[in-house]
Amino acid sequence: MSLVLPVNDESIALASTLLHEGKLVAFPTETVYGLGGDATNGHAVASIYKAKGRPTFNPLIVHVDEVKALDPLIEWTERARVLAKAFWPGPMTLVLKRAPSCPASLLTSAGLETLAVRIPSNPDAQRLLKATGLPIAAPSANASGKLSPTTANHVADSLGNNVDLILDGGSCQIGVESTVIDLTSEIPVILRPGGITREQLEAALGCKVAVYSASTNAPMSPGMLSSHYAPHLPVRLNAKGAERNEAYLAFGITEGNAGAASLNLSPSGDLSEAAANLFAMMRALDTPPHSGIAVAPIPMTGLGLAINDRLRRAAANR
Ligand code: AMP
Ligand code: MG
């Protein structure tokens, strides 16, 4: 059974230590319980996907305690300042451009140039965020595809031993996820409706806000476009080695040609390590003069499904 503790000074200190060690801590927010990990630690972020059994990498929301903690993470815009002032702390998530040297793992963004950020109001969440001083990546603390958890017991039932500590702060006040609003295009777009309504957002911004729907041409939610995660260079999958000027992205022990440049997702064949390295290594190899990126076969088990899903998109016709 997983360790469940009521929120107090000791459990917060333990939670902070665990998070600094790259472990996972479930904690209450005003929306639903979150499965938290250090957003700057690629291994911790990979283990969030693994613990949830999330079949694909859907980008994660990064939580911080106050507005100035976002300065290193994202590029502020006028609209972001307005919405931050109006609705934070609270159930609103902003999608913004990552800052140039954003310390959050690229896996948090699922390889996108953007980062989703939120400042929760729940006092226990605030206490935890202040104690760690870290940006915390946290999706809902439930197994993928299941109901979101609004009590510590839901988390324990859904995630069992896949979480190192569950902080019990009682029932969540709101119980549905935050409103996700993308501020990176000309018209703000609600990617996921939530506690803050379109009308509230339009009133605060003084402009129209679109609502994403699959049938409109509004900007897409990530993971829906077949070639969303594409690097500049062509990608060749299931390659035993590189050909001529290709760069090679290896996995496990390799005997083939390492090509013009080579990186290994996980020399020991560990899929969590590979997931943590995937987006950063793809980027590192995505430079001239290489003619393309050849990628080793990745097993279709565990996090391998998510890795292969992203690789397929990276290799898809553009
Ligand atoms: P969850 O963590 O389960 O509450 O879900 C997070 C939601 O935020 C998902 O619908 C994601 O697609 C969305 N999201 C997170 N990061 C981004 C991003 N960088 N761009 C667009 N949507 C995002
Ligand atoms: Mg969720």
Does 140 sit in the ligand 1 pocket, CB within 6 Å? Answer: yes
Does 118 lie in the same domain as 248?
no
pLDDT-above-70 percentage for the chain: 94
Domain CATH code at residue 87? 3.90.870.10
> Within a domain: residue 46?
yes
Atom of ligand 1 nearest to the CA of 116: 16
Does 239 lie in the same domain as 150?
no
Ligand 1 centre from 59 Cα, in Å?
A: 5
> Within a domain: residue 224?
no
Atom of ligand 1 nearest to the CA of 109: 19
Does 177 sit in the ligand 1 pocket, CB within 6 Å? Answer: yes
Q: What is the pTM of this model?
A: 0.85
User: Tens of pLDDT along the chain (318 residues)?
Assistant: 689 999 999 999 999 999 999 999 999 999 999 999 999 999 999 999 999 987 778 899 999 999 999 999 999 999 999 999 999 999 999 999 999 999 999 999 998 999 999 999 999 999 999 999 999 999 999 988 787 898 999 899 889 889 999 999 999 888 888 999 999 999 999 998 877 888 899 999 999 999 887 555 444 555 445 555 678 899 999 999 999 899 999 999 888 777 778 999 999 999 888 888 888 888 889 888 899 999 999 998 878 877 887 888 888 876
Tell me which of 56, 58, 107, 159 to substitute to probe ligand 1's pocket, judged by most ligand atoms within 8 Å of the beta carbon: 58
Closest residue CA from atom 5 of ligand 1: 139
Asked which of 211, 226, 252 is the last residue of a domain, the reply is 211
Residue with tokens 């896996």: 107
CA distances from 8 to 19, 32, 36, 108, 294 (A): 16, 19, 18, 29, 51
Number of domains in the chain: 2
> Within a domain: residue 230?
no
pLDDT value of position 218: 46
> Within a domain: residue 221?
no
Tell me which of 115, 221, 229 to substitute to probe ligand 1's pocket, judged by most ligand atoms within 8 Å of the beta carbon: 221
Does 191 sit in the ligand 1 pocket, CB within 6 Å? Answer: yes
Does 202 lie in the same domain as 69?
yes
Range of the domain at 156: 3-211
Does 96 sit in the ligand 1 pocket, CB within 6 Å? Answer: no
Ligand 1 centre from 157 Cα, in Å?
A: 24
Does 159 lie in the same domain as 292?
no
> Within a domain: residue 56?
yes
Does 184 lie in the same domain as 37?
yes
Reported as a single tens digit per residue, the pLDDT across 63-103 is 999 999 999 999 999 999 999 999 999 999 999 999 999 99
Reported as a single tens digit per residue, the pLDDT across 173-213 is 888 889 999 999 999 999 988 778 888 999 999 999 998 87
